[in-house]
Structure 1
């Protein structure tokens, strides 16, 4: 097991069977604020996958036989150990995501809640007594879970998979995104001082490891967060071995602003719901529907708040209203192409690139990184890709609507249904809209905020299965019914 005193935050390994493992193949992430390469990471091979699966299978009988209470106590110990290195993990997050210290610290501190939450839960124990039989319904672990994690929240989304999977008795192999491998490799290394060998492992890759995990017959459950297109490929591939899949996929989350809102109060909240983490959140606000009677005033308030209160900067900047860089060049190019397409199609930008000399100078100083300024498009065509597709970056459309039925139709018209928000002082109207939105989560009078207590799932093409809450714990179980007939 790893000694905490030996943890180094500038060298990285795969973790297999409790041991650090290097590789003859290496890759590296890129600091999105500078465009410069970060540390080398070892690329796991097919042999490494096989060895990790064997180690997990070996550890599984003992780990699954451990009492639930003991397993969640170890998760709490891991949370304690992780928080001892808050500053180091925050610095790693800054390096691999380009965030400010303030924003990175929020993920570092909040992520521990996901590790601790299973200790507040208990698995259901159901019994049925009949005249001729007794039935016990049990929830048991699957075996080996592969957690395939995204780049936008490298720590919190990995812990959201690890914690419930481990709590119910599974062993977990974590695969971080090739864009953000550092925090994951390091916290799994740290976890070796808490958990038995083989219970928690990590494998880094260069974009080719996922299919090996999905196809492996020794892995029973794939938990994936990422794009819809990749999720569909995983589901198709998992059918070959009939693996359980949990898919948290993309969304095109709408904010519906009704005419009775306090514009000065609500506009900043909607803005930060869109700009937080540079719009790189699955439940970020990605399109804003505003009642036509307040459309111009609300749009102007969004623009004014963003211009006056939101800045663009990298890790050396201060504050939570700083829009950092796009995390990787691939997504950056995608967004640049989207912006160019909007220009070619003649869309009206209510908020565009900066045009003052001072802002232009600031922009030029950021050109080495993957920075974009927040942009707002005024009433683009309803069939434009900016409206119909998830952009996953700091550019949003604002669209007027005349009545609640038309806005419901518009919000529900996309093939995704992850989350949405409704803003109104009329509680009954807000609730009626929330009940009619075809999404997994609705926020009323507030932007999206993740919470490990609240089940999180997607409707339509936004996912399959549930994460978080008691249902998210049960997601990592399989059901066994034991039927005992009474003697006659």
Structure 2
């Protein structure tokens, strides 16, 4: 049953007509398309759609700007990135309102997660800009001096997802700029306005061409990653998109960084603190509406505590407030699009046909009539004693997790490792030995112990297997955006008489 309309939370109001940002100028697209507010299902602004000529223009501009930006001092780059962090933090409410309107991220989360995280990433790489250097290499010959420098690569193509647009932008743009590269960003067509607002925020801080944004659908991204003057491609996205990008980049021998999806397992031991485990399990799957690559979308429960934890977890899920992302009381907002909503719903329906029990997620949505067109789903928990259904191995990317039970820890680890993904995983236990052993045996780029979703700046972010390669958010990322140059100097070594 729907409720009568109350006073509705205000959506973000664009400051004007959105245009792309290329070579320090605002550029109209070939055409425009509607951006849809996922809380209402209705258009809220128009966005530019680039033509191939726009992409070529942006890459040329970035290439020209690279000639000078690569020679800028580390102090200059440090100051610029620090100022960007300050500006992001200056108006967190505006960013949160924009993200809630754009992709359905609950406004309370955007305020405490997206905004400070994005600023922290820029500030972290601001510090690293002055500590990015080569090494002196000891060699046997005393008449030889060898050292390396770290050289920027050139034009970086950054392809962003829709779920956390300003965080993923920071993850790519901050280290690329800190290392002396220039950037062309292609945001998702479902999260474009936030990236254009970021461009407006930093326009006066960066020389023309250092930072560029071209917008539109997958055809725009395809033209960008295939451009022969792109030095490296960095993507956050899904496996199918990654394969297409890598195939296109291969034609130009362009290297890539891939931060891809996951099917991350949370293992709960019989000695775990169940209250904390339930809280972390809910955080792990329902934060960001479940639209997160590192979501805890599988839960393996020891038989001794499985029934109690499942009952507590289901009670938590049923109590979650679903609603307009702009409402500060909303805990889970809408999915980003009708297509994504229907895709997640299809996964749930298929799982039930394959015999899984829905412990939570079939409760009615209590929404006002004005939100009937939004893309809402209740937080769901699927259960089976030992799950072999596709939902246990396929990334759903929505507020739905799969719970199953185990008795043997080796079996639990084997099941956690059984998918083609390897991004994140975790174990909840008070046994220190067990924690270390399971952390050692889990095949994942990130292993959490008695926590989830903790990714402070400086900690490597990335996975193995189909979860991608390369690492973001850390010192190693600077190496991804630079190459070593060897300088080998003769200090008067005698020459062997090889000729004449």
For Structure 1 versus Structure 2, the TM-score category normalised by the shorter chain is over 0.9
1:311 maps onto 2:331 in alignment = no
Distance 2:326 2:44 in 1: 17
In the aligned structure 2, how far is the partner of 1:11 from the partner of 1:427? 56
Worse-superposed segment, 361-370 or 476-485: 361-370
Query: Does the CA-based 8 Å contact 1:149-1:158 persist in structure 2?
Result: yes
- Residue 3 of structure 1 is matched in structure 2 by none
Is the CA contact 1:28–1:39 (under 8 Å) kept in the aligned structure 2? Answer: yes
Aligned to 1:478: 483
Deviations along 1:168-217, one digit per CA (max 9) or x if unpaired, are: 00000111100110000111122111000000010111231111111101
Which residue in 2 is equivalent to 1:378? 383
- How far the C-alpha of 1:235 sits from its partner, in A, is 1.4
Q: CA deviation at 1:105?
A: 1.2
How far apart are residue 145 of structure 1 and its match? 0.2
Structure 1: which 5+ residue stretches go unaligned? 1-6
1:445-483 residue CA offsets vs partner (Å, 9 max, x unmatched): 001222221011211110011111100121111121111
Following TM superposition, by how much is the alpha carbon of 1:44 offset from its aligned partner in structure 2, in angstroms? 1.3
Question: Alignment partner for residue 236 of structure 2, among 225, 233, 241?
Answer: 225
Per-residue displacement from partner, 1:24-68 (whole Å, max 9, x unpaired)? 311122110000012111111111111111111111111000111
1:82–1:264 Cα change, 3 Å: closer
Q: In the aligned structure 2, how far is the partner of 1:172 from the partner of 1:380?
A: 49
* 1:364 CA displacement: 6.9
Q: Is the 8 A contact 1:99 1:314 kept in 2?
A: no
Structure 1 partner of 2:461: 456
Task: Say whether residues 1:73 and 2:79 are aligned partners.
Answer: yes
Once residues 116 and 388 of structure 1 are traced to their aligned partners in structure 2, the CA distance between those partners, rounded to angstroms, is 37
- Residues 1:117 and 2:124 are matched in the alignment: yes
Match of 2:9 in 1: none
* SS of structure 1 residue aligned to 2:437: helix
Please name the residue that 1:438 is paired with. Answer: 443
Q: What is the 5 A alignment of 1:50-449?
A: 50-106=56-112, 107-121=114-128, 122-130=131-139, 131-308=142-319, 310-319=320-329, 322-354=331-363, 359=364, 361-362=366-367, 366-379=371-384, 382-449=387-454
1: CA distance between counterparts of 2:455 and 2:35? 26
Please tell me whether the aligned partners of residues 9 and 186 of structure 1 are also in contact (alpha carbons under 8 angstroms).
no
Asked if the contact 2:14–2:45 (Cα under 8 Å) also holds between the matched residues in 1, the reply is: no
Q: CA deviation at 1:10?
A: 4.0
Distance (whole Å) between structure 1 residues aligned to residue 366 and residue 191 of structure 2? 30
Seen in structure 2, the aligned counterparts of structure 1 residues 361 and 77 have a Cα distance that, compared at 3 Å, is closer
Q: 2:40, 2:370 within 8 Å by CA — same for their partners in 1?
A: no
SS in 2 for 1:92: helix
TM-score, normalization: structure 1? 0.94
Alpha-carbon contact 1:348-1:380 (below 8 Å) kept? no
User: Structure 1 residues 303 and 363 mapped into 2: Cα distance closer, same or farther (>3 Å)?
Assistant: farther
Q: Which moved more, 1:362-371 or 1:449-458?
A: 362-371
Across the aligned residues of Structure 1 and Structure 2, the Cα RMSD in angstroms comes to 1.7
Report if aligned partners of 1:16, 1:55 keep a CA contact under 8 Å in 2: yes
Query: Any idea what SS the aligned residue of 2:70 has?
Result: helix
Is the partner of 1:239 in helix, strand or coil? helix
Q: Say if 1:257 and 1:288, in contact at 8 Å, map to a contact too.
A: yes
CA, structure 1 residues 306+364, in 2 after alignment: closer, same or farther (shift >3 Å)? Answer: farther
- For residues 363-397 of structure 1, give each alpha carbon's deviation from its aligned partner in whole angstroms, at most 9, with x where no partner exists: 87743100000111111653211101111111111
Indicate if the aligned counterparts of 1:279 and 1:393 stay in contact, CA closer than 8 A: yes
Report the alpha carbon displacement of residue 8 of structure 1 after superposing the two structures with TM. Answer: 6.1
Q: Does residue 21 of structure 1 match 2:21?
A: no
Aligned partner of residue 136 in structure 2, secondary structure: strand
Alignment partners' CA distance in 2, 1:380 and 1:158 = 40
Deviations 1:241-263 (A, max 9, x none): 11120000010011010100121
Distance 2:279 2:88 in 1: 33
User: Does 266-275 or 210-219 show the bigger shift?
Assistant: 266-275
- Whether the 8 Å contact between 1:421 and 1:448 is mirrored in structure 2 is no
Partner of 1:4: none
Distance 1:446 1:389 in 2: 23
Q: Do the aligned partners of 2:365 and 2:378 also contact (CA within 8 Å) in 1? A: no
CA distance in 2, matches of 1:360, 1:465: 41
